[in-house]
Structure formats: C-alpha cells, structure tokens
Amino acid sequence: MAIKRNTFRSDDDDRSDSGIVRTVVVAARVLDALGSMRGPVRLADLARSLKMTLPRISRHVATLRSLEFIEKAEPTEAYRLGTKLFVLGQIALEQNALAHVCEAHLVRLRDQVHRTVILCTRSGNSGVVLVCIPSHESPTIIVRPGSCLELPASPCARILYTFREDTAEARSQSTDLYLEERVNFILANYFDYEPDTRNTGIGSVAAPVFDHEDRLVGVVAIVMPTTALAGGPEPVMIKAVTECSARISSAIGSSAWDRRVSLPRKRAARAARAG
C-alpha cells in the first residue's frame, strides 16, 4: 500500500542545517542591497542585483514594507530603506558600549589634531563607521556613520582584518601581496595609513582598540586630505591616534597596548614614510 506523504511544511522547513532561517537571510540581503544603492531602486533592478526572480523579490519587499523597514519612493515605482531602520540604528548606537566609552576620547583627539576623527568596528568581512567627530576646520570632512570600509584600501578594514582570529588561515589563502605587506606593517607598528582610500582625495591614519580580553573591538582613525599624507603621516599624527587608541583600550580593561613592545618614535615615523 502506497503511503501518502504529508505535504504540509513545518516551520523548520525554512531552516538550514545550521539552524539559520533562510527567509531572514534573504530579507537581510534585500536590506543590504538597498543600503548599498545611492537612491531608490526599482524591483527589477533589485532582483537583478540579488539574482532573484521578480515574484520572489516582490514578496520580500512587500513583507518588509508592511513592517516599515522599506518604503516606496512616491511617486516612482521604486523603493528605499524605511525611516524605522534609521530609528533602530540610532538606538543601536546608543546601546553600543564601545561608542559610549569612546566619545570623550574621540573629541579630545579631534581637538588635538584639528582633523575629523572616526570610530569603526567590524561588520562581516568589512568595517563600518560607528561614530564620526567632524573637525572644526574648513572644509570639514564628514564620514557618514554606517559607511562601509572595505579591503584592501581602507586602513581601518586592514587593521580589523589583521587582528581577526581567523586571519592566519585567511592569509595562507590570500594572493594579495599589498594586503600581506600592510598586515606585516600593522603587526610591527600597531597603526596603518593610506593617503587616498577611495580615490577621492581623502586618506586616514588608524590604530586598533582592544577589549578586556585583548580582542580587537574597534579602530580609531584620523581622516584628512591626501595632501596631508603625501609623504606619509606626520609623527605627531601617529602619536596622537595610537595614544588615543591605547587610552580607550585601557578604559575598557585591555592591557594589550601596555604589553606590546613600543617602537622608538623615530623608527615608527621612518617605517611610516617607507611604507
């Protein structure tokens, strides 16, 4: 006798072997894609970007729109991130202990160097800006919180990559000689820099922040015009950003900066200019 199979799908059918709910992953991909666009996006373009069918992307967008995570950009047939995400983002920032501890130190660094200062943390395989303290100088460089900082050009992303727990394995598989060179520089000097990060005439000098277990939790960076980094960062900039990172690390219970062997100032400056 043939056994009739039950065609009813349980709630667990949408889960992978690791317990991850696939529809939530897809929803997150939709939000990420909208966040990477410069303006409202039509469904067809969004489907093409995510390599999904139009009916499938329509269902996800409709659901996210009903939850106010996505909104329609009237009067066009295009969609953008909803203001609810902005509200949640502000709440997430307020709840972020690192951002709360760092703010006074970042303001102090800004006032010391008269440049814009940012705080970044890891987001997947990249970095994301948590806080931006604009300088009082004109013109002022502003880096939008939420901005993604990617390898290999960003010093912040390179520092985050260098101190990842799986970096040794990743380095063994990497064929990027420039990234390998910068990782070695970071391990030797505990800072990094790039004269022109995105071919926009803006560069930065960055240093790592560690937590009470001496794990990397963030990166502090001074942002400045490329012309200020043409010959490498000034020793005063290196000193300012590394001391700021060390103070923040100490404030959250880390001794990583205290234990590392400090390079003489002249050697650090010479290494920066030769890098």
- pLDDT, one tens digit per residue, over 124-152 is 778 889 899 999 888 899 998 888 898 88
Domain(s) labelled CATH 1.10.10.10 in the chain stretch across 12-82
Is residue 10 pLDDT above 60, yes or no? no
Domain(s) labelled CATH 3.30.450.40 in the chain stretch across 96-274
pLDDT at 246: 95
* pLDDT confidence band for 264 (50 / 70 / 90): very low
| Residues 6 or more apart whose Cβ sits within 8 Å of residue 55 | none
As a whole number, mean pLDDT of residues 202-219 equals 93
| Encoded tokens for 145 | 């919180």
| Encoded tokens for 264 | 């003489």
Is residue 9 pLDDT above 50, yes or no? no
Give the CATH number of domain 96-274; options: 3.30.450.40, 1.10.10.1400, 3.40.50.410, 3.40.50.10490.
3.30.450.40
pLDDT at 85: 81
* pLDDT confidence band for 14 (50 / 70 / 90): low
Element (H, E) at 132: strand 126-133
Is residue 65 pLDDT above 50, yes or no? yes
Is residue 269 pLDDT above 70, yes or no? no
DSSP string, 74-113: TTSSEEEE-HHHHHHHHHHHHH-HHHHHHHHHHHHHHHHH
Element (H, E) at 249: helix 235-251
pLDDT at 184: 92
- CA dist list (Å): 259 to 98, 143, 158: 21, 32, 22
User: Scanning the structure block, which residue is given the tokens 């937590």?
Assistant: 211
pLDDT at 228: 92
Long-range contacts of 112-117 (CB under 8 A, 24+ apart): 112/240, 113/222, 113/236, 113/237, 113/240, 113/241, 115/141, 115/222, 115/223, 115/224, 116/140, 116/141, 116/142, 116/143, 116/222, 116/223, 116/224, 117/220, 117/221, 117/222, 117/223, 117/244
User: Model pTM?
Assistant: 0.69
* pLDDT confidence band for 113 (50 / 70 / 90): very high
Q: Which fold has domain 12-82?
A: Arc Repressor Mutant, subunit A (1.10.10)
Report pLDDT digits (tens) over 66-76. Answer: 999 999 988 88
**Percent of the chain, pLDDT > 70?**
81
pLDDT at 235: 95
| Encoded tokens for 208 | 């790592």
* pLDDT confidence band for 272 (50 / 70 / 90): low
Mapping DSSP to helix (H, G, I), strand (E, B) and coil, where does residue 55 land?
helix
Question: CB-hemisphere CA count at 13 Å for 70?
Answer: 30
- Mean pLDDT of all residues belonging to the chain: 83
Side chain identity at 49, as an amino acid letter? S
Is residue 5 pLDDT above 50, yes or no? no
